[in-house]
Structure 1
Amino acid sequence: MQIKIQRWLFSLLIIGALFVGGCGSSPVADSTATSNPASGENISLSPSPSPAAVAASSQFSNLPRLEGKATVVMTVKGAPITIELDGTNAPITAGNFVDLVQKGVYDGLVFHRVVREPQPFVVQGGDPQGKDPKFPTARLGTGGFIDPKTTTERRIPLEIKAKGAANPTYSQTLEEAGVKEKPVLVHSRGAVAMARSQSPDSASSQFYFTLTDVPFLDGSYAVFGYVKQGMDVIDKIEAGDRIEKATVTQGLENFKPVQ
């Protein structure tokens, strides 16, 4: 019983720490690993897009997409971190990330949250306000990408594809949508996912790396890729370290920007 209580308290502590302050609509919460990657269920769902999926595709047509894989190399402390993005299973989330990399949004941004105690959790960054060294550290984690075309913050929908599904579930956690299958992309060590607030469609530019498997957040936050090389670099990141440069090195032909 004591062990169960300790785990429950730890989960509350972690989730609370990842919901960054400011306004409730700001894209700042966080997630980490949750489902069982070893699970091999073979679920057969309808192969044809549902009306909801078609509507979602039309609704988010103003957002960039990645139709396939792409590789991003992020340099921190002079060392490279190689990330493989999965636009097959998270086209909007991965496309948004590629677009921001292409725009240079992440260059110079700070990692404002690093959680390793009481056990390893995440390294989070991507708040554009962090590019200003004079911006108050306490307020980092409340900002998102301001699209110069609209002069408003670009937000993307929560996008999670369940195993066996033809299309991702949008704007709902899998539990809210009544989906019992596990996500295709789980929060194993080295996952890259979008941070958000309580609103499912509040993610913008903030992302996080998982430092370990944290399955209790699978199905609630959008994983869109995995670190292929450089976890040793991520393991040494401290709050205040900056992204020196982020570059798309492969797969740009799969990127579909908004025209």
Structure 2
Amino acid sequence: MLALAAPMVTSMAAQAQDKENTLYLDTQYGRVVIELLPDIAPKHVERIKTLARQGFYDGIKFHRVIDGFMAQTGDPLGNGTGGSDLPDLKAEFNRYSFTRGVVGMARSSNPNSANSQFFIMFADAPWLNGQYTVWGKVVSGMEFVDKLHKGEPPRNPDVIVKMQVAADAK
């Protein structure tokens, strides 16, 4: 026999090869790996990568962690009212569903007000579909997100130890 069938590449392995569109979000519990989705939210993905490369997210609190719903972070003020110095983004609503592990951009009541805050879903929330921009999904480390201290705000909020684009990781 000359050749064997080539093994199928899993989506995890394929994703790991695209280091420019993979984020490492390190918590005290371990590393959360997020696959970025530039095909559905290019401006949001670019914003997240820009801020990560600036070190913006390092040390930022998870200021709103609702058990059974989501964990929110990305506010330098730590209270849900702050953002980066960059201008707000126009919504890039898409058909991607808010299910466990999906990462979306937080915003005010204005759909075009997303800036630096984002949230990671603990559970499915179909009522968010088409209302917030999905820009990524957790592909490993969701068990570390599950360990975040809960509360609005948590009594002892966890922080992002470091967040970086995988292509930049050493």
- TM bracket (short chain): 0.7 to 0.9
Counterpart in the other structure of 1:211? 122
> Is contact 1:70–1:251 with CA below 8 Å preserved after alignment?
no
Counterpart in the other structure of 1:246? 163
Q: Which of 193, 196, 202 in structure 1 is aligned with 2:113?
A: 202
**Pairing 1:86–2:37 present:** yes
Counterpart in the other structure of 1:155? 88
Q: In the alignment, residue 85 of structure 2 is paired with which amino acid?
A: I
Q: Which of 97, 100, 103 in structure 2 is aligned with 1:189?
A: 100
> Is contact 2:29–2:144 with CA below 8 Å preserved after alignment?
no
Q: In the alignment, residue 135 of structure 2 is paired with which amino acid?
A: F
Q: Displacement of 1:128 after TM fit?
A: 1.2
Task: List gaps (5 residues or longer) in structure 2.
Answer: 1-19
SS of equivalent to 1:129? coil
The CA RMSD over aligned residues, in Å, is 1.8
**Pairing 1:143–2:54 present:** no
Counterpart in the other structure of 2:76? 128
SS of equivalent to 2:127? helix
Q: Deviations over 1:95-128 (max 9, x none)?
A: 1111110111100000000111xxx000001001
Q: Distance in 2 between matches of 1:84 and 1:250?
A: 12
SS of equivalent to 2:161? strand
Task: List gaps (5 residues or longer) in structure 1.
Answer: 1-68, 131-139, 148-153, 162-182, 253-259
Q: Displacement of 1:250 after TM fit?
A: 3.6
Length, aligned pairs only: 145
Q: Distance in 2 between matches of 1:102 and 1:204?
A: 15
Which residues of 2 match residues 65-104 of structure 1 at below 5 A? 70-104=21-55
**Pairing 1:220–2:153 present:** no
Q: In the alignment, residue 89 of structure 2 is paired with which amino acid?
A: I
SS of equivalent to 1:99? helix
Counterpart in the other structure of 1:165? none
Instruction: Using the aligned pairs only, state the percent identity.
Output: 38
Q: Distance in 1 between matches of 2:147 and 2:124?
A: 17
> Is contact 2:76–2:83 with CA below 8 Å preserved after alignment?
yes
Query: TM-score with structure 1 length normalisation?
Result: 0.54
Q: Deviations over 1:132-152 (max 9, x none)?
A: xxxxxxxx00001014xxxxx
Q: Distance in 2 between matches of 1:108 and 1:78?
A: 14
> Is contact 2:32–2:141 with CA below 8 Å preserved after alignment?
yes
Q: Displacement of 1:251 after TM fit?
A: 9.1
Moved over 3 A (4+): none
Query: TM-score with structure 2 length normalisation?
Result: 0.81
Q: Deviations over 1:70-104 (max 9, x none)?
A: 00001111510000000011101111111110111
